[in-house]
Amino acid sequence: MFGKKPIFDDPLLGPLAWSAGHWWTSALVSSDGDVTFRIAGSLEGPTSHALERAKSTLSESGQLVAAAKAYVLIDPEASESCQGHGELLLDGFSVSDEGRLNVELALSGWPDAMITVTFSAEMIPCKASLAD
């Protein structure tokens, strides 16, 4: 049907909607509040690696968010950028085709700032990227 966005139903994550080249969840309840996931895939559906990583992330979200926040505080550039801009808040998660996880953090006192913490395949934070 013209104009109708594809939907992919997952028993754990619920309905995912295709938008801007990714699959998006509705707001899901996590230990850090409501959160959305952006999951890689094609019009046919999310990639299997990305979907599995999103599911495991939801069940481990508290630990992953804590690890991401701790990494930001020890990364010299990221921690310097955060100073004086409030607390780090979970904004969402994104998962690549290969299942690589990014935890996206915002700052309470800097509304348009975004800090993305990338995790290695072993689920260890390895990089912080800043965007304004």
What are the pLDDT digits (tens) for 20-43? 999 999 999 887 888 999 999 999
Q: Is residue 11 part of a domain?
A: no
Number of domains present in the structure of the chain: 1
Q: Which helix H or strand E contains 129, and what residues bound it?
A: strand 125-131
Structure token digits, residue 20: 């801007």
Q: Is residue 88 part of a domain?
A: yes
Q: Is residue 15 part of a domain?
A: no
Q: Is residue 126 part of a domain?
A: yes
pTM of this structure: 0.91
Query: What number is the average pLDDT over the span 74-98?
Result: 92
Q: Is residue 115 part of a domain?
A: yes
Domain of 64?
21-131
pLDDT at 120 > cutoff 80? yes
Query: What number is the average pLDDT over the span 43-55?
Result: 95
Is 54 in contact with 79 (CB distance < 8 Å)? no
Check residue 5 and give its pLDDT.
79
Task: Report CA-CA distances (Å) from 62 to 7, 33, 54, 57, 67.
Answer: 28, 10, 14, 9, 9
